[in-house]
Amino acid sequence: MKVIFASIVVLFFVTSMLPATVGQSGDVVPCKIDPLSARGVVWHQEPKATIQCGVANQMNSRIVAGSVVAPNEFPWMAFLRIYFWSGDSAQCGGTVIDGRWILTAAHCTFGAVNISVSLGAHDITSTSNDNFRQEFSTRKWITHPSWRYGDVENDIALIELPYAASLSNYVRPACLPYADDSNQLGNPVTLIGWGNYSSTSNTGFSAYLRKTLTTVISSDGTNGQCQQQSGVGSFTGDKIICGDGSQGRRFCYGDDGGPMNLYDSYWGTYSVVGVAWMGDSSDNCQNSRLPNIYTRVSYYVDWIYNNTDIVPVPKPVTTTTTTTTTTTTTTTTTRPPTTTPTTTRSTTTTPTTTTPTTTKATTTVTDAPTPTSYPSQFDCKGKPNGVYPNPWNDCSRTFFYCSNGYSYEYICPDAGTVFNEFICDCDYPSNVAGCLDEVK
C-alpha cells in the first residue's frame, strides 16, 4: 500500500506541473479556472481590447501655421506633461502603440520625475470639455540605452501606463511600421502636435491639435539632403527619417516626441514612421525652412518588442505568377483519294501561323496580417474560461484571461517578474524554464 500511495503522489505532482497548454486530449486548457487565484495579478486593471490600429476618424495642412484637426481625427495622439524636480514642467507629444504603451522621444523624459498622459484629447486647456479624454500619471518609462542628451540618433522612449487605456474609436493605437520598410523617400506624411504654431512672439502653444502635410526627403547614408540642410551634426538615414521643411511645414517646440504619420492606402490605416526630435523654440521656427528630423521607427521595432511584447508585424509577401502562351509549328502529311493506281505520293506542309508569346505578370499579396493593436492577438474562441500563458513567448510579462470567448490581456504588475505557466502566477525569471534573468 505504501508503494501505491507514493506512486499516486508522484503522479499528482507530475500532472500538476504540466504546462497550461497541454491537456490529456491535446486540447488547450487554462492553467487556472478562477482568475482570482492568480495571486500576483492586479485584476482591477483594464484589459486590452482587440482593435484595429491606425484608423483615423476623418480623412481630410502645418503644425506651424497648420490647420486644426477634427476632434479625435488621430486617436493615437497623446499629450504629455513632463514634471521635473524643480517644479517646472514641459510638454511633448506621444503616440499610443498599445493599450499600455506610449511612444515618444527620449529627450522628453530626460530629468523627469513624473509624466501625465492625456489620451483622446483635442483641446488641452483647463476648460476643455473633451468627452472622451483619459488621464494617466506614471513614473515608468524606458529610454533607448544608446541615447545621450543632445544626440540626434536613438532619441526614442517608451512610457508605460499604470493600467491599460480603454481603447475605442477615440483612443486607439497607431500601427507600427515593418522592420524592413523602405526609406519612404518622396512619400507624403502628416505631422501633428500642440506645439508653437505661429511666428508671432509670445503666441505660445496651440490649445488644439494641429497637423501639417509634408514629404519625406533623403537622409541616406550620412550625407543626404537632410544632413546637409539641417546642420545638427552627423547621423545615419537608417535611424533618422526627415520631412521637407522648405515650405514652412515644420514641427516646432512643444511638438517633440510626436508622430510622423504615413498613410497606407492598401490597409486604409496610418503607421507611425517617425518620432519628432527637438523642436525649434525660436519664433523663427517656420521661417527657418530647415528639415523636420524624426527618429525612424522601423529601425527600432525589435527594441520596442523586447520591452513591450508588441509583436512586430511581418511584411506582406508578394508573389509573381508568369503565364506563357506558346504556339507549336505542326507539319501535316495528306494523301489524295485513291481513284486509280498511282505510285506518286503527294506531301503537303500546312503553313504555320506564328503567334507572339504572351507573358502576363500577376502580383498577389499573400500572408498579409490584418493590422491590430496586438498582431498576434490571443484567440479565446472555443477555449474554456480561465488564465492562459503567452503562447508566443515563454519569458513574457504578458498573459491572457478568456471569458466566454473574449480575450483579455494582462501584464505582471511587479517589476522584474514574468508569467510562470507552471504555477499560473507571476514569478521571478530565474524560476521560469528557459527564461533565466531575461525579462521581456
- pLDDT tens per residue, range 357-381: 444 444 343 344 343 333 446 777 7
How confident is the model at residue 151, as a pLDDT? 94
Domain count, the chain: 3
- How many whole angstroms separate alpha carbon 418 and alpha carbon 434? 12
What integer is the mean pLDDT of 271-299? 90
Identify whether 321 is part of a domain.
no
How confident is the model at residue 415, as a pLDDT? 72
Check whether residue 221 and residue 284 sit in a common domain: yes
Torsions phi, psi for 107 (to 5 deg) = -70, -20
Single-letter amino acid, residue 163? Y
Check whether residue 200 and residue 282 sit in a common domain: yes
Identify whether 248 is part of a domain.
yes
Distances in Å between the Cα of 14 and the Cα atoms of 9, 26, 391 are: 9, 17, 21
Q: Which of 243, 278, 298 is the last residue of a domain?
A: 298
- Least confident stretch, 34-48, 234-248, 420-434: 34-48
- How many whole angstroms separate alpha carbon 103 and alpha carbon 97? 7
- Least confident stretch, 228-237, 328-337, 416-425: 328-337
What integer is the mean pLDDT of 52-72? 69
Q: Which of 277, 298, 319 is the last residue of a domain?
A: 298
How confident is the model at residue 35, as a pLDDT? 52
Identify whether 310 is part of a domain.
no
pLDDT tens figures, 120-174:
999 988 888 888 899 999 999 999 999 999 899 999 999 999 999 999 889 999 9
Check whether residue 201 and residue 262 sit in a common domain: yes
Check whether residue 288 and residue 201 sit in a common domain: yes
- How many whole angstroms separate alpha carbon 228 and alpha carbon 404? 58
Q: Which three cell numbers stand for residue 336?
A: 489524295
What predicted TM-score, i.e. pTM, was given to this entire model?
Answer: 0.64
- How many whole angstroms separate alpha carbon 36 and alpha carbon 187? 50
pLDDT tens figures, 172-198:
999 999 988 889 999 999 999 998 876
Identify whether 203 is part of a domain.
yes
Exposed, middle or buried, 315 (CB in 10 Å: 0-12/13-18/19+)?
A: middle
Q: Which three cell numbers stand for residue 383?
A: 477555449
Identify whether 204 is part of a domain.
yes
pLDDT tens figures, 317-333:
554 444 444 444 444 44
Identify whether 305 is part of a domain.
no
Domain range for 196: 187-298
Percentage of the chain modeled with pLDDT above 90: 38
Q: Which three cell numbers stand for residue 59?
A: 480623412
Check whether residue 292 and residue 196 sit in a common domain: yes
Identify whether 376 is part of a domain.
yes
Check whether residue 193 and residue 284 sit in a common domain: yes
- How many whole angstroms separate alpha carbon 173 and alpha carbon 269? 11
How confident is the model at residue 361, as a pLDDT? 41
How confident is the model at residue 7, as a pLDDT? 43
Distances in Å between the Cα of 367 and the Cα atoms of 315, 317, 352, 370, 377 are: 9, 6, 45, 10, 16
Whether the predicted pLDDT of 262 surpasses 90: yes
Find out whether 29 and 21 touch, Cβ atoms under 8 Å.
Answer: yes
Check whether residue 143 and residue 92 sit in a common domain: yes
Check whether residue 374 and residue 276 sit in a common domain: no
The model's confidence at residue 57, banded by pLDDT at 50, 70 and 90, is confident
Q: For residue 320, give the 3-state DSSP assignment.
A: strand
Single-letter amino acid, residue 124? I
Whether the predicted pLDDT of 430 surpasses 70: yes
Residue 385 sits in a domain whose CATH number is: 2.170.140
Q: For residue 400, give the 3-state DSSP assignment.
A: strand
Check whether residue 251 and residue 197 sit in a common domain: yes
pLDDT tens figures, 336-345:
444 434 444 4
Check whether residue 150 and residue 200 sit in a common domain: no
Whether the predicted pLDDT of 238 surpasses 60: yes
Residue 225 sits in a domain whose CATH number is: 2.40.10.10
- Buried/exposed code over 189-226 (b: 16+ C-beta within 10 A; e: otherwise): bbbbbbbbbebeeeeeebebbbbbbbebbbbeeeebeb
Q: Which of 269, 298, 327 is the last residue of a domain?
A: 298
How confident is the model at residue 218, as a pLDDT? 95
Single-letter amino acid, residue 424? C
Identify whether 336 is part of a domain.
no
pLDDT: is 352 or 84 the higher one? 84
- How many whole angstroms separate alpha carbon 338 and alpha carbon 87? 116
pLDDT tens figures, 107-122:
999 999 999 999 999 9
- How many whole angstroms separate alpha carbon 387 and alpha carbon 409? 10
Q: What pairing do the DSSP bridges indicate for beta strands 425-427 and 418-420?
A: antiparallel
Check whether residue 129 and residue 213 sit in a common domain: no
What are the contacts of 408-412 at 24+ separation with CB within 8 A? 408/47, 408/48, 409/47, 409/48, 409/99, 409/164, 409/374, 409/378, 410/41, 410/43, 410/45, 410/47, 411/100, 411/309, 412/40, 412/41
Check whether residue 386 and residue 434 sit in a common domain: yes
